[in-house]
């Protein structure tokens, strides 16, 4: 498994489709901010629309565009048609909820709306590495084959609604997320972030080693060896690409793994601490609370209630 795949696995990011919109005219839909752990997305199957943030930023969307709001920011999606919007109705009889104001098969806008959910702490690993709005345009990216293929398959599934369509669309949403991250990380002039770090062949080997053996007492020298670099060169390149230190990332990875173990097992906190590389339960508890704002025990109680 590569480093990006492992980080996404730890973050437990899952896509879900809320509805399909087939609309015409000058409509506008207000989307309220979502809680931490939810990131809305929109995929334009065909047509055009505008997405506006509360700070006035406006993004023009067209067919094939994918837009993600990693921090759940409030926004408005509006139509670009000149005619007044007809009354909007919701059809929830099928496997996918459809919001429409036209009976035409060729609506001015055909839009999929959904959200990604992710585990507490995952924002430190993935979402915080993204801009306020992640906008991937197939036209700008030169229509990469993988992204284009996923969009085409999504379009076919929501149009035909054959058996299993919702399960397929949900899985493809998660695939789309990974492809969008890859396309974003490969853009020229990207600022340092975890995503840029994970596209570096040598540095990503060190990150993958951390995820495979979080209990290991890693030192900078040991991680540098994984990347086949000197200690000083490794530390400098890691900071330049990722804008964080190897040890800071190691702590984030350990805490994410600890969250999963706390949620899905009855292991004592001391055993969880050992599993992620802490010899002292006290030291683990302090690091966990500093990172997540909960003690390990209170986090477990909270996750069980949730």
Residue 194 lies in a domain: no
d(CA 243, CA 196): 10
* Overall average pLDDT of the 77-93 stretch: 85
pLDDT bracket for residue 31 (50, 70, 90) = very high
Question: In the prediction, which pLDDT does 225 show?
Answer: 97
| Sign of the torsion formed by the C-alpha atoms of 128, 302, 280 and 289 | positive
User: Are 172 and 70 contained in the same domain?
Assistant: yes
Q: Which CB contacts under 8 angstroms, 24+ apart, belong to 263-269?
A: 263/300, 263/303, 263/304, 269/296, 269/297
- Band the pLDDT of 13: cuts 50, 70, 90: confident
Q: Residue 153 above 80 pLDDT?
A: yes
Same domain, 161 and 209: no
Average pLDDT over residues 279-294: 92
Q: How confident is the model at residue 290 (pLDDT cuts 50, 70, 90)?
A: very high
125 with 17, same domain: the answer is yes
Q: Give Cβ neighbours of residue 105 (< 8 Å, ≥ 6 apart).
A: none
CATH of the domain at 235: 1.10.10.60
Cα angle, residue 193 at apex, residues 15 and 122 outer, rounded to 5°? 40
> What does the chain look like in DSSP terms, one character per residue?
--HHHHHHHHHT-EEEEEEEEEE-SS-EEEEPPPPTTEEEEEEEEEEEEEEEETTS-EEEEETT-EEE-TT---EEEE---SSPPPPPEEE-SSSS-EEES---SS-SEEEEEEEEE--TTHHHHTGGGS-SSEEE-TTTTT--HHHHHHHHHHHHHHHH--TTHHHHHHHHHHHHHHHHHHHHHTSTTPPS-HHHHHTSHHHHHHHHHHHH-TTS---HHHHHHHTT--HHHHHHHHHHHHSS-HHHHHHHHHHHHHHHHHHH----HHHHHHHTT-S-HHHHHHHHHHHHSS-HHHHHHHHHH-
Q: Tell me, what's the pLDDT at 10? A: 85
* pLDDT for residue 306: 59
pLDDT tens digits for 233-247?
A: 999 999 999 999 999
Query: Does 76 fall in a domain?
Result: yes
Counting the structural domains of the chain, the total is: 2
Asked if residues 7 and 207 have their Cβ atoms less than 8 Å apart, the reply is yes
Neighbours of 256 (CB within 10 A): 26
Q: Model pTM?
A: 0.84
Work out the pLDDT band at 83, boundaries 50, 70, 90: confident
Among 43-57, 155-169, 209-223, the range scoring the smallest mean pLDDT is: 155-169
Among the residue ranges 18-27, 63-72, 183-192, 291-300, the one predicted with the least confidence is: 183-192
Mean of pLDDT values over 262-291: 94
The verdict on 96 and 119 lying in the same domain is yes
pLDDT at 7: 87
The mean pLDDT of the chain is 88
pLDDT digits (tens, 9 = 90+) for 213-262: 999 999 999 999 999 999 999 999 999 999 999 999 999 999 999 998 99
- Tell me, yes or no, whether 180 and 209 share the same domain: no
Residue 27 has pLDDT above 60, yes or no: yes
Contact (CB, 8 A) for 253 and 118: no
Give dist(CA 189, CA 194) in Å, integer: 15
- Cβ atoms 138, 67 nearer than 8 A: no
Same domain, 49 and 139: yes
- Which whole number is the average pLDDT over 199-212? 94
Residue 112 is predicted with a pLDDT of 92
Range of the domain at 209: 200-305
pLDDT, position 143: 55
Same domain (yes/no): 42, 135: yes
Task: Clarify whether residues 177 and 217 are in a common domain.
Answer: no
Q: Could you report the per-residue pLDDT of 133-150, keeping only the tens digit for each? A: 999 887 665 555 667 788
Tokens of 33: 């901010």
Sign, CA dihedral 205-246-5-10, equals positive
Residue 76: the pLDDT is 96
Confirm whether 270 is domain-assigned.
Answer: yes
pLDDT recorded at residue 142? 56
Which of 127, 156, 185 terminates a domain? The answer is 185
């Amino acid at each position: 498994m590569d480093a990006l795949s492992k980080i996404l696995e730890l973050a437990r990011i899952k896509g879900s489709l809320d509805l399909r919109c087939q609309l015409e005219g000058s409509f506008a839909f207000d989307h309220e901010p979502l809680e931490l752990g939810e990131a809305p997305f929109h995929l334009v199957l065909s047509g055009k629309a505008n997405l506006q943030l509360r700070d006035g930023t406006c993004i023009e969307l067209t067919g094939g565009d994918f837009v993600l709001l990693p921090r759940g920011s409030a926004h408005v999606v509006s139509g670009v048609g000149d005619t007044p919007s007809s009354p909007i109705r919701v059809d929830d009889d099928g496997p996918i909820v459809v919001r429409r104001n036209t009976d035409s098969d060729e609506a001015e806008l055909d839009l999929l709306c959904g959200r990604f959910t992710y585990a507490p702490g995952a924002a430190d690993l993935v979402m915080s590495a993204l801009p306020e709005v992640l906008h991937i345009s197939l036209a700008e990216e030169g229509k990469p084959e993988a992204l284009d293929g996923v969009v085409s398959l999504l379009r076919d599934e929501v149009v035909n609604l054959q058996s299993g369509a919702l399960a397929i669309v949900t899985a493809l949403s998660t695939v789309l997320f990974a492809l969008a991250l890859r396309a974003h990380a490969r853009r020229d002039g990207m600022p340092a972030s975890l995503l840029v770090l994970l596209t570096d062949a040598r540095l990503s080997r060190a990150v993958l080693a951390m995820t495979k053996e979080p209990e290991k007492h890693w030192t900078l020298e040991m991680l540098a060896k994984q990347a086949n670099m000197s200690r000083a060169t490794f530390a400098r390149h890691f900071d330049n690409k990722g804008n964080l230190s190897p040890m800071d990332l190691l702590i984030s990875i350990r805490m994410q793994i600890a969250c999963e173990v706390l949620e899905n097992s009855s292991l004592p906190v001391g055993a969880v601490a050992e599993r992620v590389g802490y010899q002292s339960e006290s030291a683990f508890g302090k690091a966990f609370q500093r990172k997540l704002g909960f003690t390990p025990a209170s986090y477990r109680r909270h996750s069980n209630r949730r």
